[in-house]
Structure 1
Amino acid sequence: MTHSGSQPRALAARVLDAVLHRGRSLKAELAAVLPQLDDPRDRALVEAICFAVLRQPVRYQAALDAWIPKPLPRRDSELKALLFAGFAQLDALQLAPHAAVAATVEAARALGRKHQAGLVNALLRRAQREGLPTVDASAHWPQWLRERIARDWPQDESAVLAASAEEPPMWLRVNRRVLSRDAYRTRLDDAGITAHADDSLPDALRLDSAMAVAALPMFGDGAVSVQDASAQLVADALAPASGARVLDACIAPGGKAAHLLERDASLRITGVDIDAKRLDRVRTNLARQHLEHDVVLRAADAADLPSWWDGVPFDAVLLDAPCSATGIVRRQPDVLLHRRPADLDALTTTQARLIDALWRTLRPGGVLLYATCSILKEENEAQVDAFLARTPDARAEPLDDRFGRVSGAGRQRLPGERGGDGFFYARLRKH
C-alpha cells in the first residue's frame, strides 16, 4: 500500500475521535464519512479499523500509558485516535506492518499533524516489535453494567463479556422467493465464498468474516440480505398464519418485516416507526427486495394509538422493543461508551408503555411477540412477567430451545451462542 492509504486512516481517526471523545454515535459518524471514499475497499477498511478499536479501546490506551511518559493533552485527542487506529491495524486486523505504519504516518500529516508524524512512527514501530499489552476483555465495560451482567448471568458472565469483544460472523438471509438456500450457497461457492448452513435457521448462511455486500452474488436483486441469526429467528417465533394482518411496531430498518414477506407474500403488514428518517431507510431496503408496495408505513409513536391505528385489530404484532442493545455490543461497540444507568429506567418505562398499548391492537386469539437485543433481565424476563401479572387475558406460549435458554416466560440467547447475537423472545397469546 502506498501513501494513498492515508485518507481512510485519517477518516477513521476522525470517526474514532468523535465517538471516543465527543460522545457521538459510531453509526452516524460512519454514515457521514464513508460516502467520501469512492473505493469500497477503503470504506471497508475504515469500518474495520473503527470496530477493531472500539472493541478494545482499553488495550490501546494501556499501550499509550506504558509508552508515553505524560498523557496526551485533550487537544491531541485526534492524534490519540489515529494511534489507536494504527495499533488496531497491527494487532486485531493483522495488516502488513510496513504498509500500515507508512500510511498511518502519512495520515498524521494529512490531519495537519506533520510535527507529530515522528511520534506516530515511533509508537507504531514499537507496537510492531513488542506487541500490545494484554488486557481483560471486559475492562472497557462500565462497572455498573458489568455488575448487572454478573447478577443476571453469574455462570455466563465471562463468556458474555468475551464474546462481546469478538468480531461476529456475517449472517446472510436468503430470499426463498428468489431462490433456495442451497441454490444460493452454490452461487457463493462459484464466487469462491465459503458459507455454512445451520439446520435450525432455514433461510440462513454464515460467512466466517465480513465482506462488502456489493460482492455478494445477486445482492442488488434482493436475493440475499445481511441479518444476524438471532434476528432471523423472530420470523419463527412470531409464525403468523397465511394472510394474517401483521403489525411491526418498531419496524426500522425493516429486515424482520421483509423476512416475513419473503416467507409468505400473503401477509398484510403495517410498519410503524417513531422516526420518519428511519422509514426512508426501510423503504430503500424493501425496494431492493421489490417489497416496497407490500408494507404500509406510518411515522408515529407506536404507543400513541390514535395517531396511526385505524381500529382494525391485528392477527399478530411484533414488538422489537427499544432496548439497551447489550446483546449486540460486538456489532455496536460504542454502546458501552454511551449507555448510562438512567437509560435503563427510561427504556423499561418505554417498553412497558409500548406493550400495554399494542396489546389493545391485537384481536382475541392473536399473538404478540416481545423481542429485544438485550441480555438484561429487567428489560426481558422481568418486563414480560410484570406484563403478564397485570394483563388477565395474556398467556405466554412456550418456545423451543432454538431460541435459547428458558428465561421467565420467554427464551434468552446470549452473545456468541450458536454464532448469534444476544436476543430475547416471548410469545404472548391473547385470550
Structure 2
Amino acid sequence: MAVRRWTPPPCLILVKNGLKTVRFWEVVADPRLVALGWLIRVHEGRSVNDLLANSSQSPGSDRHPANQLSPQQKAQAKQILYGCLRYYHQLKTIAENLLAKPFKDKDLDLLLVVVTGLYQLKYLSTPDHAAISESVELTRKLKKKWASGVINGVLRRYQREKDEIEDSLSKSLQFQFSHPGWIIKKLRQDWPSRAEDILSQNNQHAPMILRVNTQVISQKDYLSQLTENNYQASPHPVAADAVVLEKASDVFSLPLFQSGGVTVQDAAPQLAVELLQLDENLRALDACAAPGGKTGHIMQRQPNLELTAVELSPRRAQKIQETLERLYPAQSCHLICADVTEVEDWWDGQLYDRILLDVPCSASGVIRRNPDIKIHRKTTDIQPLVEIQSKILDKTWELLKPGGILVYATCSVFKQENDAQIAAFTKRNEVEFVSLPNKIEKKLNNEAEFGYQIFPGEAQMDGFYLCGLKKPG
C-alpha cells in the first residue's frame, strides 16, 4: 500500500498563542490519537525508538502531543502502539475480512483506527463500548466523520461474531502468527522445528536486562542495591555481568545508572566479550560500534588495551561517545566516524589482535523489542544486507593479525546472514573456530553449524548469532 505523508488533525496542533480560541477537544490529551499518530509515522518509515525519543528529547518536546498526556495516559498510548505493532498482521487480516471494500491508500489512518479498535477489543481489558465509541470518535478528530459508520459497524460486528470470525481465519498464517508471510516462510525453511516458537516469542514482551559495570560494583552487590530500593531482579543464568529486572523500569531511576554503574543491554550480545578472549595490551577494533554497548563491555572487561571504535552514522557515533563518557570517564577509546570498508580513510596501518564485527542485519532476532521491524523489513532487503556483511567481513579480516580473533555477530535468526555467511567465508579463507567457555556453552541450545545461534526467549535472551574466527599463524 502506498503511503502519503500524514498531516496531523487539529487536535494534534497545539495552540501557540494563548489568546487563540479553540474548541475544547483540540487541547485535551488523547492517548488513542497519540498512538494512532505514532502508528501512521511507523508506516511512513519511522522507527518506534526514534519516535519515542523525539517525543521527549527534541526541541519543543514539552509541546509534543505525547507530552500533554499524564503518565498513565502515555503508558496507555505506548501499550496501544506496541500491541498494534506486535499483532498488526493478525489485526489487519481481521480488518480486511470485515471491511466490505478496502480503504483507499489515502485513508491508511482509517485502517489503523480499525486496527487500534480491534487490538483493544481482543487484547485489552478496555470495556467494549469504550473501545468502539472512542475509535468512532477518532474519525471526527481526523476530519473523516463520513467513516464513523464504517468503523462502528466493523468493530461491532467483531464484538458480536468474534469466535466465528476467528475460526474462519484460523488457516491464515498471518492471522495465526502475526508476521508477514515471507518471514514465516523463511523461518520454516531455516528452522523447521523451531519456527513456531520463534514466531510466538517474537510476539512476547522482552525482559529488561542490565549490564552491571563491574569496575564500579559487583553483580552481587548491585542486586543487593536493587533489593534495597524495592526492585525485583535476578542474576542472568548465562551472561556473567547481566541482571534481569522482573518489571521494566525507568532507567534514570535505577540505582547508579546516571553515575555509570549500570547500563541497559540484552544478555546475548554480552557474550561477545567471552569469545574475544581479551587480555592486557592488546590492540582491538569494534568495527560497527553503534549503539556502543559492546564497545563499553570491552572497555569494562579489559581497561588496559588500545581500542578503536568505528561507526558510520555521526548521530549514532555521538550516542556512543555519550555512553562511554557516562560509564568509563577515566578510559579512552579512539572513536572514528567512517565507513569501515573504506579502510584507507581511517586505518593507521597497524594490524589488530581482536576485532568485533556486529554487522548491519535484518534484526530478525530482536522483533520482540522492535515490533516495527515486521512492517519495515522486506524480503528484498536480505540479499543486499548479506552482500554488505560479506564485504565488511572480508575487509576487516585483512586488518587482523595472524593469531588474532575476529568475532562476527548479528541480531538475526536467518541462516543466510549467519551460518551461510560463515560457510561462504571459510571457502575464501583459512580459519580456526573459537569456542565460548564450557560453562557458558553448555547452557545454550545451539543448533548452528558454525558459531552460536541464540533464539528469541532462550534463557531470556534476544535472538543473536556470534561466531569466533581465529586467523592461523
Task: Tell me which interval the TM-score lies in, with the shorter structure as reference length.
Answer: 0.7 to 0.9
Q: Matched residues in 1 for 2:361 and 2:251: separation?
A: 27
Instruction: Report 1:400-415 matches (<5 A).
Output: 400-402=441-443, 404-415=445-456
Alignment match of 1:60 (pick from 91, 99, 109): 91
**Structure 1 stretch 346-355 or stretch 277-286: which is displaced more?**
277-286
- After TM superposition, give the deviation of residue 44 of structure 1 in Å: 4.3
1:74-96 C-alpha deviation (Å, 9 max, x unpaired): 33322332343344345445457
User: TM-score, length-normalised on structure 2?
Assistant: 0.80
The CA distance in 2 between the partners of 1:380 and 1:177, in whole Å, is 33
Q: 2:50 aligns with which of 28, 32, 35?
A: 28
Distance 1:181 1:217 in 2: 13
Deviations 1:254-274 (A, max 9, x none): 011112222332233211111
Correspondent of 2:433 among 396, 401, 410 = 396
Which residue, 194, 202, 205 being the options, matches 1:164? Answer: 202
Q: Which residue of 1 aligns with 2:11?
A: none
Question: What is the aligned partner in structure 2 of residue 283 from structure 1?
Answer: 321
Matches within 5 A, 1:181-330: 181-291=219-329, 294-330=332-368
Q: Aligned to 2:347, what secondary structure does the other structure show?
A: coil
Distance in 2 between the 1:91 and 1:208 partners?
26
Equivalence for 1:9: 32
Q: CA deviation at 1:53?
A: 0.8
The CA deviation at 1:317 is 0.4
The equivalent of 2:112 in structure 1 is: 81
Within-5 A mapping of 1:315-394: 315-392=353-430, 394=431
- Report the counterpart of residue 4 of structure 2 in structure 1: none
CA distance in 1, matches of 2:29, 2:135: 6
C-alpha change, 1:124 and 1:228, in structure 2 (3 Å) is: farther
Q: Is the 8 A contact 1:371 1:424 kept in 2?
A: yes
In structure 1, what is the Cα distance between the partners aligned to 2:143 and 2:53? 24
Stretch of structure 1 that moved more, 104-113 or 190-199: 104-113
Structure-1-length-normalised TM-score = 0.88
**Deviation (angstroms), 1:363:** 1.5
Preserved CA contact (<8 Å) 2:210 2:263:
yes
| Preserved contact between residue 236 and residue 267 of structure 2 (Cα < 8 Å) | no
Instruction: Indicate the SS of the match to 1:405.
Output: coil
Q: Which moved more, 1:131-140 or 1:63-72?
A: 131-140
Q: Residue 218 of structure 1: CA displacement? A: 2.6
Structure 1 position 352, deviation (Å): 1.1
**Which has the larger displacement, 325-334 or 184-193?**
184-193
State the shift of 1:199 in Å: 3.4
Residues 1:147 and 2:204 are matched in the alignment? no
Give, in whole Å, the separation in 1 of the partners of 2:251 and 2:364. 25
1:116 offset after TM fit, Å? 5.5
Alpha-carbon spacing, 1:285–1:122, altered in 2? closer, same or farther (3 Å): farther
TM-superposed CA distance for 1:211, in Å, is 2.8
User: Could you tell me how far 1:245 is from its partner in structure 2?
Assistant: 1.9
Identity among equivalent positions (%) equals 34
Judged with a 3 Å threshold, the aligned counterparts in structure 2 of structure 1 residues 124 and 57 are, in CA distance, closer, same or farther, namely: same
Structure 2 partner of 1:423: 464
Q: 1:362 to 1:341 in 2, by over 3 A?
A: same
Structure 1 CA distance for aligned equivalents of residues 104 and 50 of structure 2:
26
- Shift in alpha-carbon separation, 1:428–1:138, aligned structure 2, 3 A: farther
Distance 2:292 2:334 in 1: 12
Unmatched segments (≥5 aa) in structure 2: 1-24
The one-letter amino acid of 1:314's match is Y
2:258 maps to a residue whose letter is G
SS in 1 for 2:452: strand
Letter in 2 for 1:343: D
Q: Match for 2:408: what amino acid? A: Y
Secondary structure at 2:205 match in 1: coil
Alignment correspondent of 2:14: none
Compared CA separation, residues 199 and 342, structure 1 to 2 (3 A)? closer
1:157–1:72 CA distance, 2 compared to 1 (3 A): same
Tell me how large the CA RMSD over aligned residues is.
3.0
Displacement of 1:338: 2.6
TM-superposed CA distance for 1:151, in Å, is 1.6
- Decide which moves more: 4-13 or 340-349: 4-13
Contact 2:33/2:138, CA 8 A, preserved across alignment: yes
Q: In 2, distance between residues paired with 1:234 and 1:96? A: 47
Q: Which runs of 5+ in 1 are unaligned?
A: none
Q: How many residues align?
A: 427
TM-superposed deviation, 1:16? 0.8
Supply the distance in 2 between the matched residues of 1:83 and 1:10 (Cα, whole angstroms): 13
